[in-house]
Structure 1
Amino acid sequence: MQNDMEKGDDEAAFLVEEIQRPLINTHESKGHPWMVYLTTFVAVCGSYEFGACAGYSSPTQSGITSELGLSTAQFSLFGSILTFGAMVGAITSGPIADFIGRKGAMRVYSAFCIAGWLAIYFAQGTVALDVGRLAGGYGMGAFSYVAPVYIAEIAPVELRGALTTLNQVMICTGVSVAFIIGIVLPWRVLALTGLIPCAVLILGLFFIPESPRWLAKRGAHKDFEVALQKLRGKDSDISHEATEIQDYIEELERLPKANIFDLFQKRYLRSMTIGVGLMVFQQFGGINGICFYVSNIFETAGFSPSIGTVIYALLQVVITAAGATLIDKAGRKPLLLVSAFGLVIGCLLTAIAFYLKAHHSSEKAAAILAVIGILVYISAFSVGMGAVPWVVMSEIFPINVKGAAGGLATLVNWFGAWIISYTFNFLMQWSSYGTFIIYAAINAAAIIFVIKVVPETKGRSLEEIQAAINT
């Protein structure tokens, strides 16, 4: 009889649990994502700053060279030294973000950008200009790593892709705004506008939490739970997510501390191949050559460079924003494949246009075809290959190697940017249509790489992704 009573009690408890389960799950799933949105907004101010730095030199060339008497070579140094600063920023960004935290790192990088803009504003010669540009490049390169990583670490699974993609949306917005307002603002005033996102970021950092995953890794368990609760909402049950993060951190802590040479161990080889490979294909597909010299491309093709540049700038913002809404629905891998395929088409159309022009055949049709090719190219890049590699990079590296691995991937990205921007004019002099055939071949190789190597990470926690890739 006692066994029957115990059995009845167990059944009653089970019924109560089953009745309550949908209510509990519904309550947990609601959350209060406003803090996640605020935190993301503050972080992507660093992404906007990235874009403002990258877009500054294009509309200011005539103003700076005429006022300060710079030669073409001196201005070229001013423009290109940004990339060297970014490479240094990429090397140091991961270790600094791991040592002083994501928020502390963003404060440091903001200070570099502020110093850079002020040096440019007050410049009376090439030294101050170049030092300012170098400082801004350092901050820009560092932001390119820490902003997407921080967003990925604070975002819930169902929002992570879209929120991380906002990094690229804001970069494109920063570039486009610099292009457009640079037409009407003097170059010194345009430099001052670069201070605005830094000011918003520094102020916003006082109101947002540190990355819970970084706090857990540092052993600050109480602060970790407070930060996670603040991000998920005071009424949300964070126990499952907190346990998953803590268990994964504890597993990683049993491993020896990693340095850059440890990244090439077998357990990290796949994640390194994915992260670095995507950065290689993103840059060597030609984006920075086309972006830096888009006005010259339109002019060479016989199309208005000012109209073409404005269309180019607006289109990349709109398409990148559209990609942000699709990434958590369509997934990372489909967007990469669609993007790479579109890049091949855009390059081939542009190659055909320049071939026709080189052989003096249908020059009017060649101009139209070149414009269509470039716009197809930037649309395809913006929908996937521009943003998704940064999203995937922020997801695949375990937190114990994230600093070193992310820094290396970002360095590869900036090195590729420098190679492509430096060689573009030489390639165009060699063969305008041959240049775009080379880029088409590289983007075709990217399709194969994505199919064979890149996993789908949509809808999975960071711990699940990293455990699957790195075991």
Structure 2
Amino acid sequence: MIGAIMSGYLADYLGRKGALRLCSLFYLVGWLITAFSKDIVPLDIARLLVGFGAGLTSYTVPVYIAEISPKNLRGGLTTTNQVFITTGTLIVYLLGMLLKWRIVALIGTIPSMLLAAGLFLIPESPRWLAKAGRDKDFKEALQALRGNQYDVSYEATEIMEYVEELESLPKARIIGLFHRNYAPAVIVGIGLMICQQLCGINGVIFYASAIFKAAGYSSGQTASVGIALIQLPMTAVGALLMDKSGRRPLLMIAAGGMSISCFIVGLSFYILGHSHQSALQLLGSRLALIGLLAYIATFSLRMDGIPWVIMSEIFPINMKGIAGSLVSFVAWFGGLVVTVSFSSLLSWSAAGLFFIFCGVAAFTVLFVAKLLPETKGRTLVIVDII
């Protein structure tokens, strides 16, 4: 959450690449301390460092990708971030089954160093360079991204006109987010993140072992790997569909599928808790498995990534830093609330918990249908969402 609060300011002040360099440093130091620490206090410090890097990365990466992408490919390219997050999750689950945790922590330094080195090979965001008044660097970066054979004059003019227009707008402040020009975008950004988190995904992933055991299955580690195996192909499918189907239809399908899946899981736990017949117990266990796998599959269909893509698209560049920080903070705070309360709610009533998630997912469908604009193929300008 602290990283999320600072993310917009740091990404605007240091540039997108500068913020990512800082991320790589926090990751590297955090994993090294984790690997070699001999006491709980250094481990806590290491977790804070890696957590700060994660909060900063969660905002900076989708914004950077959105700003360097052609508008017809922006959705798919931005969501590749989530594809690789899912891939990394699967790899670490597998490594955790085979290696000691200190070795896994040392392996975590490798992508940290690759990130730091790779940043020397890619250009800065042209939009950030234009906003910073570095006209020569801005055009060179845009040309490098589009290729030497591509005429970037039209796109460059479009970006410069947009930046000039933004310079006439007031300086970004927290209170300014609630101005009538920006409030609808803030409502959409925050609303999507709240819906994403209150659908319960962090709780389901973090407590997968306990959920499967409550449903009558014993192997928690295998369940976690199974979840990651489902996430990866479904996330890839969602990335491919992003710029074809659009953000709104895909998000509504994902949320609708999650609502149905949660209802099935809730029903299964109701059966398991109110029937002692072996046939019904078996039915309840099978329904729980089907519902949980369907829940993960439909969430991965882009409920995980679309809110971050939308966040990177709907705010104008003069408000993007402060608005992105607020939205990212809400996402991590929502994840904290769900993670902390999930275990107690699961013990209270597994059926009731998933019926709550079912209701939240159903509300998400209505929220998207009513308030979310379609940003597919739109240039990164102020989106009319009123």
Distance 2:289 2:222 in 1: 11
Matches within 5 A, 1:3-14: none
Distance 1:123 1:299 in 2: 33
* Contact 1:175–1:313 (8 Å) recurs in 2: yes
Matched, 1:409 2:323: no
Poorly superposed stretches of 4+, deviation over 6 Å: none
Q: Which residue of 2 aligns with 1:378?
A: 296
Distance 1:468 1:373 in 2: 37
Q: Which residue of 1 aligns with 2:367?
A: 449
Matched, 1:354 2:269: yes
Unmatched 5+ stretches in structure 2: none
Distance 1:256 1:334 in 2: 35
One-letter identity of the residue aligned with 1:457:
T
Distance 2:98 2:377 in 1: 45
Matched, 1:314 2:232: no
Q: Which residue of 2 aligns with 1:26?
A: none
The total of aligned residue pairs comes to 382
Alpha-carbon offset, residue 305 of structure 1:
2.5
Alignment counterpart, residue 421 of structure 1, candidates 339, 342, 351: 339
Matches within 5 A, 1:161-176: 161-176=75-90
* Contact 2:205–2:224 (8 Å) recurs in 1: no
Alignment counterpart, residue 311 of structure 2, candidates 386, 390, 393: 393
One-letter identity of the residue aligned with 1:460:
R
Q: Which residue of 2 aligns with 1:138?
A: 52
Alignment counterpart, residue 215 of structure 2, candidates 287, 301, 307: 301
One-letter identity of the residue aligned with 1:122:
F
- SS of the residue corresponding to residue 209 of structure 1 reads coil
- SS of the residue corresponding to residue 354 of structure 1 reads helix
Alpha-carbon offset, residue 306 of structure 1:
3.2
Unmatched 5+ stretches in structure 1: 1-86
Q: Mean alpha-carbon deviation: is it higher for 304-313 or for 410-419?
A: 304-313
Matches within 5 A, 1:41-440: 87-303=1-217, 304-361=219-276, 362-440=280-358
Alpha-carbon offset, residue 205 of structure 1:
0.8
The one-character-per-residue Cα deviations of 1:235-256 (angstroms, maximum 9, x if unpaired) are 1111111111110110010111
Based on CA coordinates, which of the two structures has the bigger radius of gyration? Answer: 1
Query: How does the TM-score come out when normalised to structure 2?
Result: 0.97
Distance 2:329 2:286 in 1: 37
Query: How does the TM-score come out when normalised to structure 1?
Result: 0.80
Distance 1:287 1:307 in 2: 18
C-alpha distance 248-467 of structure 1, shift in aligned 2 (>3 A): farther
One-letter identity of the residue aligned with 2:263:
L
* Contact 2:371–2:385 (8 Å) recurs in 1: no
**Identical positions, percent:** 51
Distance 1:216 1:346 in 2: 46
* Contact 2:32–2:106 (8 Å) recurs in 1: yes
Distance 1:413 1:349 in 2: 26
Instruction: State the superposition RMSD in angstroms.
Output: 1.0
Alpha-carbon offset, residue 467 of structure 1:
4.5
* Contact 2:199–2:360 (8 Å) recurs in 1: yes
- SS of the residue corresponding to residue 458 of structure 1 reads coil
Alpha-carbon offset, residue 260 of structure 1:
1.4
Alpha-carbon offset, residue 156 of structure 1:
0.5
Distance 1:193 1:315 in 2: 24
Alpha-carbon offset, residue 368 of structure 1:
1.1
Distance 2:249 2:206 in 1: 28
- Structure having greater relative contact order (Cα 8 Å, sep ≥ 6): 2
One-letter identity of the residue aligned with 1:259:
R
